[in-house]
Amino acid sequence: MFAAVAFAYALADQTRWRIAMLVAKQTLCVCELADGLRLPQSTLSSHLATMRASGVVEAEKIDKWVYYRLAPAIVPLFGMLRKQFADSLAQDAILKEDRERTAERVALRGQTDCLGPRRAIPPKKRESRRAVCC
């Protein structure tokens, strides 16, 4: 029962839902999330810690940067939730702005110090590769 309650708690916050919506389709660095959500990294880190503890997101650390993605086991369930609430999510101005800002920030990969993850959603951390972020 604890896992179910932790999962529900992790998504029962507007900010954590916004994070989940962004990392559902792509792996994002903390700095990309902070810029996209317009949140201080300290606030974002607190929310991400809750989400990691419940198993909603997974993290990959490369050097001193951490990249987040929706946990593969959660993807089908989260997809069902998004489908169930598709109408209200499509009309949500905050989510739209988050997507737009994050897309703009991700488009800067290669032009800033934050280049994004080196490989596509690896199952486990391997040898640390040199990554440059913000």
pLDDT digits (tens, 9 = 90+) for 22-77: 999 899 999 899 999 999 989 999 999 999 999 999 999 887 778 999 999 999 99
What is d(CA 126, CA 134) in angstroms, rounded to the nearest whole number? Answer: 22
Q: How many Cα atoms sit within 13 Å of 119 on the Cβ side?
A: 12
pLDDT digits (tens, 9 = 90+) for 7-22: 888 999 999 999 999 9
Domains and CATH numbers, the chain: 2-106 (1.10.10.10)
**Who contacts 26 (Cβ-Cβ below 8 Å, separation ≥6)?**
69, 106
Global pTM reads 0.81
